[in-house]
């Protein structure tokens, strides 16, 4: 009987790309991949450490695995596994914990799959995480996440990512292009570029600080790869998003007019305390530049509320700053203290009830912003890529500029692109449309 393996991924697109790569290594070893809710011989949980919530969810997911198969071997990998390996190993039911450099060699650590009395830990010093492992996700969705960069050299005072993933390093241009071609050969229509700090691409591509390529070079070369219908840039720092890149996307064959740019705070004093590498004025400049050359572009924003020292005045400044900006939606993070970060030792801690209230206000603003953006797109002609899931009798899809649309379920539309005209916003906030051409299905 072939052994079965199941995966659960917490956190970011980068984690999804890496889970997919780890899953392929199991397939190569003769395992069959099954859904996490099914009975498997081994369950692999790819962890995240960005928020306290992701930490807490880990125990729940381990219990889920044990419920499906009490005798199953449970392994934890990823950022939380690097930062607090012993904490994970102590969770009842966990057999193996692998850190940043070990996770891609997981099949080497799995011998007889018998349960351990104690969680076994293999975790390197993070300084040893100085080599690059390429990853991409395939088969999970109608789009693929392609990892181009890992690690971060920034020292933001709230962030554990450099401790969990090490220094900034990049894939070689040749590797990225080969992976992109491989993805496109499997009838996947959209590739999302992902990494910890993708605007830093190029650094460390030869295993040292030397590099000959930049993010702009990468974008130019990927745009030439045949067979890729859509390329999407995931989160990119405002100080690393250059005018040349914005101009290239505006004229690109495949890159779509959608940017996700972390802001974190609209107050310069808080940005300094966070050790961000820009002021709010630069952020305004980036948004203005994008909207100047691509008025229909979708712009998403990350923002953190309740950072130590954030007064009501600071928060209201952030709120009004975002309200006045021509952006499309927000990802709101409630600040949570992380061990071994500068911010964890800062004074003027914001009470949790205040953090939650501010978070709720910004989430409300996000709903308003998204609605206004969707309304601005009504009457325009766009191209939709349809997703593969039947959600309560509807199929969903996204336009190139990230407007989410819906229509009654039609399996023949899955993973296909169609020209549409956006007509109205439904009661659930999603957009209805008419096909520009009659469907020839």
Only one residue has tokens 């992902």, namely: 194
- Domain positions in the chain: 4-126, 130-256, 260-376, 378-435
Give the end-to-end CA distance of the chain in Å, rounded to a whole number.
41
Q: Are 235 and 260 in contact (CB under 8 A)?
A: yes
Which class is 378-435 in CATH? Answer: mainly beta
- Fold match between domain 130-256 and domain 260-376: yes
pLDDT band at 125 (very low <50, low <70, confident <90, very high): low
pLDDT band at 111 (very low <50, low <70, confident <90, very high): low
CATH topology of domain 130-256: Transcription Regulator spoIIAA (3.30.750)
Q: Which CATH superfamily is domain 4-126 in?
A: Methylthiotransferase, N-terminal domain (3.40.50.12160)
**Which pair of tokens denotes residue 416?**
């296909």
Task: Summarize pLDDT for 197-234 with one digit per residue, the tens.
Answer: 999 999 876 666 667 899 999 999 999 998 899 999 98
pTM of the shown model: 0.85
The closest of 81, 75, 87 to 115, measured between CA atoms, is 75
The closest of 116, 126, 108 to 49, measured between CA atoms, is 126
* pLDDT beyond 60 at 126: no
Other C-beta atoms lying within 10 Å of the C-beta of residue 19: 25
Only one residue has tokens 């549409």, namely: 420
Q: For 137-146, 172-181, 281-290, 374-383, which range has the lowest pLDDT when averaged over its residues?
A: 137-146
Q: For 185-194, 200-209, 427-436, which range has the lowest pLDDT when averaged over its residues?
A: 200-209
Report the distance separating Cα 217 and Cα 373, nearest Å. 31
What is the reported pLDDT for 402? 97
Which class is 260-376 in CATH? Answer: alpha beta
Instruction: Work out the average pLDDT over 19-30.
Output: 90
Task: Summarize pLDDT for 307-353 with one digit per residue, the tens.
Answer: 999 999 999 999 999 999 999 999 999 999 988 999 999 999 999 99
């Amino acid at each position: 009987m072939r052994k079965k393996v199941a995966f659960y991924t917490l956190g970011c697109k980068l984690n999804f790309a890496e889970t997919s790569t780890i899953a392929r290594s199991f397939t190569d070893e003769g395992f069959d991949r099954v859904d996490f809710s099914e009975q498997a011989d081994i369950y692999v949980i790819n962890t995240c450490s960005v928020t306290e919530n992701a930490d807490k969810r880990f125990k729940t997911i381990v219990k889920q695995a044990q419920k499906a198969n009490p005798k199953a071997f449970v392994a934890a990998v990823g950022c939380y596994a690097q930062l607090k390996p012993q904490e994970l190993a102590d969770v009842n039911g966990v057999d193996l914990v692998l850190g940043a450099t070990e996770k891609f060699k997981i099949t080497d650590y799995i011998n007889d799959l018998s349960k351990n009395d104690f969680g076994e830990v293999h975790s390197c010093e993070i300084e040893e995480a100085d080599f690059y492992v390429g990853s991409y996700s395939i088969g999970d969705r109608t789009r693929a996440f392609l990892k181009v960069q890992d690690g971060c050299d920034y020292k933001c005072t709230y962030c554990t990512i450099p401790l969990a993933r090490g220094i900034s390093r990049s894939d070689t241009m040749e590797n990225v292009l080969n992976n992109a071609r491989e993805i496109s050969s499997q009838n996947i229509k959209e590739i999302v570029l992902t990494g910890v700090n993708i605007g830093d691409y190029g650094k460390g591509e030869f295993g040292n600080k030397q590099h000959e390529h930049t993010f702009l070079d990468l974008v130019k070369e990927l745009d030439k790869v045949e067979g890729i219908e859509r390329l999407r840039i995931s989160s990119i720092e405002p100080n690393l998003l250059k005018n040349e890149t914005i101009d290239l996307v505006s004229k690109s064959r495949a890159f779509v007019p959608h940017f996700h740019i972390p802001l974190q705070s609209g107050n310069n004093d808080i940005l300094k305390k966070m050790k961000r590498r820009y002021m709010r004025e630069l952020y305004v400049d980036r948004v203005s530049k994008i909207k100047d050359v691509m008025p229909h572009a979708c712009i998403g924003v990350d923002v953190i509320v309740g950072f130590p020292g954030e007064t009501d005045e600071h928060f209201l400044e952030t709120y009004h700053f975002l309200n006045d900006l021509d952006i499309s939606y927000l990802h709101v993070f409630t600040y949570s203290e992380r061990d071994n970060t500068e911010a964890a030792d800062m004074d003027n801690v914001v009470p949790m009830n205040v953090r939650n209230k501010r978070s709720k206000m910004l989430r409300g603003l996000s709903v308003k912003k998204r609605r206004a953006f969707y309304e601005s797109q009504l009457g325009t002609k766009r191209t939709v890529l349809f997703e593969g899931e039947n959600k309560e009798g509807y199929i969903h899809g996204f336009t190139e500029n990230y407007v989410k649309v819906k229509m009654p379920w039609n399996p023949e539309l899955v993973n296909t692109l169609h020209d549409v005209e956006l007509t109205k916003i439904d009661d659930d906030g999603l957009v209805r449309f008419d096909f520009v051409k009659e469907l020839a299905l």
